[in-house]
Amino acid sequence: MQRISIVAIAAGAMVLALAGCGQDDSGSAHASHQSTTTAAAPATSKVSTTAAAPIEPPSEAPAADTAPKRTTAPEGAKTTCGDFRELDETTERAVIDQVLAAHPGSILEGNPNAALGTAKLVCLSASYTDTPVAVAIRVADK
């Protein structure tokens, strides 16, 4: 009787082992994840003690805009996007405050930060250069 139970356990273990070995997981996500993580891991890791060379922009890259920003808006609430792009941050905020004050009941009323962010993004477009900021941020009609 004892031999039968040992044979049954051995047969069961062999069936489980063969069932586990017989599966092909190469198409599963788990198997592909395992193969990429083990393949990507370096065998040895060495830390470099040399400094990397500084990265320089290509010679044909445009020069950075170094012109000083203006501190006054020429027309206040009627400032165009072209003029708005040349203003410093304090003056941009003042222009937005003037625009919102000149157009009460607009969708951006009471939210000058959203109006300022919208104006900065919209006025980046070259097609809005001659458009007033109030029209560009949609608080005024054309």
- State the pTM of this model: 0.51
Question: Which tens digits make up the pLDDT trace of 23-42?
Answer: 555 555 555 555 455 555 55
Res 1: pLDDT:
60
Question: Which tens digits make up the pLDDT trace of 7-28?
Answer: 778 777 777 666 666 555 555 5
Structure tokens at 28: 């599963």
Closest C-alpha among 115, 66, 120 to residue 89: 120
Cβ(115)–Cβ(108) below 8 Å: yes
